[in-house]
């Protein structure tokens, strides 16, 4: 419409409301240049007040809308290898409709600001569908860039008023784009620095974890190396005796010292601790290894047969003696004689054995001739022979003859550090006998074994593992596959208070050892209140070291 028709058009009462909406409003900053600069500075400071990319984007689009008086505002980031992406927006009542991508792409391509007061009539954009679909009137878009690269575009528009934006708004938005670019660059650098810091922290934790693992492996290798070095330090081969813990090592070092001496030995230890293995090691490594190793269990034979086995007999010496027979003392001549459970030997036989050992010659039963012999005597028993001597059940003179050197074998519960090695060796031997691959022992199973008292020691352990290998169907033995039966301790009576306290102390100490000093379990097992148990521990002087 020409100017006269346009004036007549707007005077129509039906268009009075529309006329007010389409009247150009002066931006607030037109009041004065200093006020405009103060607003620009304030908005720039707000944009640069955060190092968070999300907040910088939100502050920037808010500042652009507030500075230009736009209806909508968008901040789009240039993604390498992809189109522009809307990173922040103030879309008012129509949030689903975005900016005109044609205008944005023009700014990105030219890297110059674009201003149009009537986009639909602008020849640059009249052919673009987005302009007509959005019914855009005024559009202003400014590039955000640094000397290194283009970061994005600040875009504002108005779909109601033509000529909403002028050169003044363009200059203000261009001036605002520089602080936005600086703030975005700083925020991105901060984000990348934080990300790099997190990566470095994660790498540091990974290195620390690997270092700790390597340290554990190194400690294990050092322990294995020390064990091998200690094994090499021993003069003789004790490969049949499993375990190189402190207590077993002390035993082996003692054997090293007496190996060549040829003196008689007494091996003390509970049943199943490996007393015969010690005797065989003395024979195999000693100077008599070319001779015979002969063993006899003194508790397995009655008195008459025991004497016949030891000393031999002549033909006709007693009923059934249809031929001469050499006794074990003569069979072991030049070698080693092992008398197991010598504490069970009857007193008359003890007296005869003492005479034979003193004279170093033996006369078989029913014979008139004596024969010399030369053996190394190794005896073993689970009894306390000194107590047996005091009680009159064992001859004192024989004790001093057989116990020139006393070797004490620790029970399994006192050398649990050897348990993993023992289990591994026993499982390999059991599996080889059964014709199958050795199973793996679970950690819970090893823990259950370490908590068991094992009154039968290594013999009982072998029995438990054999049963587990036979009964288990998998390649791994768990705690449920072990049948560990704890036998109740026999009831003991005491005639005096001193004996009662001594027996109670031993009972508490035994329970503490079996449970690895778990006071709660001992309290429940012995039915002693915990506070009372602590008082008894203090009164009896019991501590972990004991």
Distance CA 523, CA 209 (A): 40
Interval 13-34 mean pLDDT: 59
Percentage of the chain lying above the pLDDT 70 cut: 86
pLDDT at position 368 over 70: yes
Beta-bridge partner residues of 377: 337
Q: Using H for helix, E for strand and C for coil, what is the string for 304-326?
A: HHHHHHHHEECCCCCCCCCCCEE
Tens digits of residue pLDDT in 431-450: 888 888 888 888 888 888 98
Cβ–Cβ contacts within 10 Å for residue 495, how many? 7
Tens digits of residue pLDDT in 102-152: 888 888 888 888 888 777 667 677 667 666 667 777 888 889 888 888 888
Interval 494-503 mean pLDDT: 69
Cβ atoms of residues 504 and 536 within 8 Å: yes
pLDDT at position 227 over 70: no
Q: Is 232 exposed, middle or buried (0-12, 13-18, 19+ CB in 10 A)?
A: exposed
Interval 361-371 mean pLDDT: 86
The whole model's pTM is what? 0.50
Interval 155-159 mean pLDDT: 84
pLDDT at position 420 over 80: yes
Q: Is 277 exposed, middle or buried (0-12, 13-18, 19+ CB in 10 A)?
A: middle
pLDDT of residue 489: 45
pLDDT at position 30 over 50: no
Distance CA 523, CA 262 (A): 49
pLDDT at position 546 over 50: yes
Strand order in the sheet with 293-297: 293-297, 336-340, 376-381, 265-268, 405-408
Cβ atoms of residues 144 and 88 within 8 Å: no
Q: 3-state DSSP call for residue 142?
A: strand
Tens digits of residue pLDDT in 185-225: 888 888 888 889 899 999 999 999 899 889 888 888 887 77
Tens digits of residue pLDDT in 289-326: 999 999 999 988 888 888 888 988 888 777 777 788 88
Q: 3-state DSSP call for residue 440?
A: strand
Cβ–Cβ contacts within 10 Å for residue 537, how many? 17
Non-local (6+) Cβ contacts of 380 within 8 A are 266, 267, 268, 269, 275, 276, 278, 279, 338, 339, 340, 341, 342
Distance CA 121, CA 116 (A): 9
Distance CA 400, CA 408 (A): 16
Distance CA 354, CA 401 (A): 8
User: Residue 29: which pLDDT band, with cuts at 50, 70 and 90?
Assistant: very low
Please indicate whether residue 185 or residue 381 has the higher confidence score (pLDDT).
Answer: 381
pLDDT of residue 365: 84
pLDDT of residue 497: 66
pLDDT of residue 184: 82
| Least confident stretch, 29-38, 159-168, 503-512 | 29-38
Cβ atoms of residues 177 and 144 within 8 Å: yes
pLDDT of residue 121: 64
pLDDT at position 236 over 90: no
pLDDT of residue 163: 60
User: Residue 92: which pLDDT band, with cuts at 50, 70 and 90?
Assistant: low
Please indicate whether residue 347 or residue 1 has the higher confidence score (pLDDT).
Answer: 347
B/e letters for 445-470, b = 16+ CB within 10 Å, e = fewer, are bbebbebbbbbbbbebbbebbbebbe
Please indicate whether residue 482 or residue 237 has the higher confidence score (pLDDT).
Answer: 482
Interval 157-174 mean pLDDT: 78
Cβ atoms of residues 103 and 64 within 8 Å: no
Q: Which of 8-12, 359-363, 505-509 has the highest mean pLDDT?
A: 359-363
Tens digits of residue pLDDT in 270-279: 988 999 999 9
Question: What does pLDDT average to over the chain?
Answer: 82
pLDDT of residue 101: 81
pLDDT of residue 31: 46
pLDDT of residue 28: 46
| Least confident stretch, 78-92, 125-139, 314-328, 344-358 | 125-139
> In sequence order, what DSSP letters do the residues of 250-303 get, joined into one string?
HHHHHHHHHTTT---EEEE--TTS-HHHHHHHHHHHSTTTTS-EEEEEGGGS-H
Percentage of the chain lying above the pLDDT 90 cut: 20
CA 263 to chain centre: 49
pLDDT of residue 545: 63
Tens digits of residue pLDDT in 123-136: 677 667 666 667 77
- Alpha helices in 87-166, H assignment, sequence order: 101-110, 129-134
pLDDT at position 356 over 90: yes
Note the residue count of the chain.
546
Non-local (6+) Cβ contacts of 447 within 8 A are 479
């Amino acid at each position: 419409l020409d100017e006269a028709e346009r004036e007549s058009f707007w005077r129509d009462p039906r268009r009075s409301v529309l006329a007010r909406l389409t009247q150009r409003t002066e931006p607030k900053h037109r009041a004065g240049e200093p006020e405009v600069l103060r607003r620009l500075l304030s908005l720039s400071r707000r944009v640069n007040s955060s190092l968070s990319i999300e907040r910088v984007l939100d502050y920037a689009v808010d500042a652009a809308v507030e500075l230009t008086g736009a209806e909508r505002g968008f901040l789009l980031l240039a993604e390498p290898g992809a189109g522009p992406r809307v990173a922040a927006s103030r879309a008012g009542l129509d949030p689903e409709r975005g900016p005109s991508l044609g205008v944005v792409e023009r700014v990105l391509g030219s890297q110059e600001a674009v201003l149009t007061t009537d986009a639909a009539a602008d020849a640059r954009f009249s052919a673009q569908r987005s302009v007509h679909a959005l019914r855009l009137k005024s559009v202003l878009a400014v590039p955000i860039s640094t000397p290194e690269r283009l970061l994005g575009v600040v875009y504002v528009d108005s779909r109601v008023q033509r000529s909403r934006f002028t050169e003044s708004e363009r200059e203000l938005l261009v001036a605002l784009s520089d602080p936005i670019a600086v703030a975005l660059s700083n925020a991105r650098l901060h984000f990348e620095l934080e990300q790099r810091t997190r990566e470095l922290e994660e790498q540091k934790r990974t290195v620390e974890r690997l270092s700790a693992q390597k340290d554990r492996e190194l400690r294990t290798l050092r322990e294995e190396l020390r064990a091998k070095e200690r094994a090499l330090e021993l003069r003789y081969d004790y490969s049949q005796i499993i375990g190189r813990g402190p207590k077993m090592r002390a035993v082996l070092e003692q054997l090293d010292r007496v190996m060549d001496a040829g003196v008689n030995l007494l091996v003390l230890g509970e049943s199943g601790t490996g007393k015969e293995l010690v005797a065989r090691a003395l024979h195999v490594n000693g100077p008599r290894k070319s001779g015979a190793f002969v063993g006899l269990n003194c508790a397995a034979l009655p008195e008459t047969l025991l004497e016949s086995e030891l000393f031999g007999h002549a033909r006709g010496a007693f009923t059934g003696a249809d031929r001469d027979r050499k006794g074990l003392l003569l069979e072991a001549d030049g070698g080693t004689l092992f008398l197991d459970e010598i504490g069970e030997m009857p007193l008359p036989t003890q007296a005869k054995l003492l005479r034979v050992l003193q004279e170093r010659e033996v006369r078989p039963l029913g014979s008139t001739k004596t024969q010399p012999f030369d053996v190394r005597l190794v005896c073993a028993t689970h009894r306390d022979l000194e107590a047996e001597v005091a009680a009159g059940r064992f001859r004192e003179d024989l004790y001093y003859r057989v116990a020139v050197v006393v070797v004490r074998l620790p029970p399994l519960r006192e050398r649990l550090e050897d348990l993993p090695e023992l289990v591994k060796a026993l499982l390999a031997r059991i599996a080889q006998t059964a014709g199958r691959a050795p199973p793996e022992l679970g950690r819970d199973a090893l823990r259950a074994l370490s908590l068991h008292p094992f009154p039968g020691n290594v013999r009982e352990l072998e029995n438990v593992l054999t049963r587990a290998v036979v009964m288990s169907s998998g390649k791994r033995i768990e705690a449920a596959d072990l049948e560990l039966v704890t036998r109740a301790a026999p009831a003991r009576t005491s005639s005096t208070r001193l004996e009662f306290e001594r027996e109670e102390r031993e009972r508490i100490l035994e329970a503490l050892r079996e449970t690895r000093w778990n006071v709660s379990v001992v309290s429940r097992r012995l039915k002693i209140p915990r506070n009372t148990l602590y008082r008894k521990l203090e009164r009896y002087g019991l501590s972990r070291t004991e």
